[in-house]
Amino acid sequence: MRIGYVISASSPLEFIATLDPERPVSLYDYVTVEHVEYDSHANEYLNVRLLGQVVRIFRSPYSAKRDMSLYSVIREVASNILEVQIARVRVLGYVHDGELRQPKYPPRVGAPVYAAEDAELREIFKVERGLCVGRLVSRDIEICLDVNGIKRHVAVIAATGSGKTWFSVVLVEELVKRGAKVVVVDPHGEYVPIRDSVHRLGPFSAIVVRVSRQHAGDVTYRIGVLDSDPDAIANAAGVPAGAKKIRYAIYLAWACARKARETLGRPAGLSFMQGVLRTALRGEAALNKLLHQLGAASDFVRDDLMQLARRDRHAIFSALTYLRRLRRLGVFSSRSTPLSRVLADVTIVNLAGVNEEVQDYVVYHLLSRVFSARVRHVRSLRGAKIPWPVVVFVEEAHRFAPPKALRRTKSYEILSRVAFEGRKFGVYLVVVSQRPSKVDADIMSQCQSQVIMRVINPKDQEAIRDSSELLAQEFLENLPGLDVGEAVVLGPVVRVPTVIKLRDRTLDYGGADIDLDAAWRPSKALGAVQLWRRLYSSLPTPDITITAARLKTLRKAREGGRVVVTLLDGDREVAVVIDNGRPVCNACGAGRPCAHIYKALEEAVEVIRHS
C-alpha cells in the first residue's frame, strides 16, 4: 500500500518522506521504497526494495506564513487547512541473495513509499531456533534473538520500573529452553522464585546458592580461607583500609594457616587464625610451641607477631574482633564449596543479607572458578571442568563493575576478563543495570548487543551513546517515550535494530513493585488476627504469618454458609473450608492451626465483607 513519497534523501542511510495523513504510520513502523542499486560484483543494476524504519514523525500545517499569527490562520481556515505528515526514515538495507545489504546510493526524490508487508518483515526477522522474547511494537510479528549473538555479550539497560528484570527473566527462560546453563548474580534475592517455577519450562533444574544463612537457598556458599588472600579477608570483615596494623595481624595469622596446611596437610579456617592471634597474646613461649608444631614457620612471622603482641596488643584484639564478626557471617571456612554442588540449569547466587564487600568477593571468587573451569575444559587441562558454555547474568552491574576512577572492586577483575576473553572459552555476560553511566565503560563497550528500555537520565543516555556504535540519535531521543516492557534491541542478536514489546514471562520473580494500597490496608490482617484469636485463644506466631504471606490465592467463594478458599502452596493446591466459623485445611487436618488457615481467614474477611 502506497503511503507517501520521498521528499529528501540526504544520504543512503536515511531519507525524509511526506506521508498521507489519512493513512497514519506509527513511530518505529517499517516502510519500503523501490530503488535501483549497482552490484559491482555482478556488474549490473538491481531493482530492489529498500527497507526503512520510521524513527521520527510529526505533523504540521502546510504553507502557514511565518509573518502571520498561526492562530489567525487556523481560525479562518480550520476546516480546510492543509496538513502534512513528515517522517524521518532510517534505511536498514535491502535483501539480495538472502543477505541484508547496505545501499550505496540514496533513494530517488519523489519515489513512492510503501508500508512494508508483514511477509517481508517476517523474512527479515526470521531466526532459526531463536530466543523469542516479544513482538514488534508496530506489528503483530514475533521477534526472536539470534542465540549466537549472545557470544558478543549483552547489556540490558533501563530506568527502575521499566522492565529490565522482566526482560532478564524472559531471556533466562529462552536460554534454558535452548539447553544453556545460566548463572544469575542476584544482589537482592529477586530471582529466587525461579527455583520453584522452573518446572513450568520442562524437566529443568534450578538451585539457589545463598551466602547468608538467614536468606533463602539450597546450598550455602563457602570460601576457603586459604583459597582467598588476607586483604580480601580484611575487606570482607570491614577492616578500614588505613588500619595497617590490624590488617598486618590478619596477614600474619593467615600465613600461619597456610603453613599449617603445607606441613600438617589439613585445612585451616578463621578459627585457626583466631587461635594463632590468641596464642601470640599469651606470650612468646606459647607462640614458639605453636609454630614448632606447624613445622618451624619463618622467623619473620614469629618475630612480627611477638612485636605486635608486645607493642600494639590493641591491633591483635581488634583483628580478633573483626575475625569474630566474619566468622559469625559464615562466608569464610576451611574449605570452599565444591563447584559441582552449585551448578544447575539455572544457578541463582542469592547475595541478600551480606554487605557489599562480601558480595563483591563472593562474585569474584565464584565467577573466577567458573571461568577457570571453562578454560581447563577448552584447553584440556587438569582440574575441575565445566563441559558446557555458561551465560552469566549480573544484576545491579554498577555495584560490581563501577568505573575504575570511581572505585575499585575485586569482582571487576573477573568481569573484565570475561568481557574481553569469555567468548573464546564459552563464558558470556549479560550486564543488567539502571545506571549505565556508573558501569565501567570498557566492560560496556564489549557488550555489542544492547537491550535498551526507558532511560531518562541524560548522563545515562550519554553513556549508552558512547558504548553503542549502532544506536541512532533518533532512537536515543525517543528512549524517554518508551512504555514499560518496550525496548530498543540492537547488535548481533538481531539483523537490524528494532523496537519490541516483551512477551509475558513464565517464571516467577520477586522484583515487582509493592502495591502500597494492598500492603497498607489494615482491615484484612486485623480481621484475620481477630478471627484467629477467637478460634485458638492466642495470636498467630510470626512463622505462620510469614509463611501465609508467601501463599497465593487461586479461588475464593461463598457457598451458602460456607467459605471455600483455594490456595497455591508451591506446586500443590490446598483448600480451606470455613463452615460456621470453623476452618478445616485439607492438607494439615481439622482443628490444627496452620499458615493455610491464616491465609484463608484473611480472604474470608474480604469475602464476608463484600457478600
C-alpha to C-alpha distance for 88 and 7, rounded to whole angstroms: 10
Model pLDDT, residue 338 = 92
- Residue with more model confidence, 318 or 41: 318
- Residue with more model confidence, 373 or 100: 373
Cell of 393: 547474568
Model pLDDT, residue 517 = 61
Cβ contact 437:399 at 8 Å: no
pLDDT over threshold 60, residue 137: yes
The pLDDT-based confidence of 166 (bands split at 50, 70, 90) is very high
Range in 57-66, 538-547, 565-574, 601-610 the model is least confident about: 57-66
* CB neighbour class for 558 (10 Å; exposed up to 12, middle 13-18, buried from 19): middle
pLDDT over threshold 70, residue 519: no
- Residue with more model confidence, 203 or 301: 203
Cell of 541: 506466631
Across the range 149-157, mean pLDDT stands at 93
Across the range 563-575, mean pLDDT stands at 89
Half-sphere exposure of 126 (CA within 13 A, CB side): 11
Q: What are phi and psi of 361, to 5 degrees?
A: -75, -35
DSSP state of 438: G
Range in 139-153, 167-181, 359-373, 508-522 the model is least confident about: 508-522
Average pLDDT over all residues of the chain = 85
- Residue with more model confidence, 291 or 215: 215
**CA nearest to 275, candidates 254, 304, 295:** 254
The pLDDT-based confidence of 70 (bands split at 50, 70, 90) is low
* Segments of the chain assigned to CATH 3.40.50.300: 148-221+337-502
The pLDDT-based confidence of 81 (bands split at 50, 70, 90) is low
pTM: 0.76
Task: Indicate the length of the chain as a whole number.
Answer: 611
C-alpha to C-alpha distance for 102 and 28, rounded to whole angstroms: 19
**CATH class (in words) of the domain with range 148-221+337-502:** alpha beta
Across the range 530-559, mean pLDDT stands at 86
The pLDDT-based confidence of 32 (bands split at 50, 70, 90) is very high
The pLDDT-based confidence of 511 (bands split at 50, 70, 90) is low
Cell of 379: 584447553
Model pLDDT, residue 424 = 93
Model pLDDT, residue 144 = 94
In the chain, % of residues over pLDDT 70:
89
pLDDT over threshold 90, residue 423: yes
List Cα–Cα distances, 39 to 32, 36, 103, 530, in angstroms: 20, 10, 10, 82
**CA nearest to 507, candidates 189, 160, 162, 172:** 172
Helix, strand, coil percentages for the chain (3-state, nearest 5): 40, 25, 35
pLDDT over threshold 80, residue 353: yes
pLDDT in tens, 583-592: 899 988 877 8
* CB neighbour class for 261 (10 Å; exposed up to 12, middle 13-18, buried from 19): middle
Range in 170-174, 299-303, 372-376, 410-414 the model is least confident about: 299-303
Model pLDDT, residue 456 = 73
- Number of other CB atoms surrounding residue 170 within 10 Å: 22
Cβ contact 132:178 at 8 Å: no
* CB neighbour class for 9 (10 Å; exposed up to 12, middle 13-18, buried from 19): buried
pLDDT over threshold 70, residue 539: yes
pLDDT over threshold 70, residue 283: yes
Which residue matches cell numbers 502546510?
62
Across the range 170-192, mean pLDDT stands at 94
Across the range 354-381, mean pLDDT stands at 93
List Cα–Cα distances, 74 to 58, 85, 459, 473, 593, in angstroms: 18, 17, 40, 33, 73
DSSP state of 160: T
DSSP strand pairing (44-61 vs 30-39): antiparallel
Cβ contact 228:199 at 8 Å: no
Return the axis-axis angle of helices 299-311 and 284-293, rounded to nearest 10°.
Answer: 150
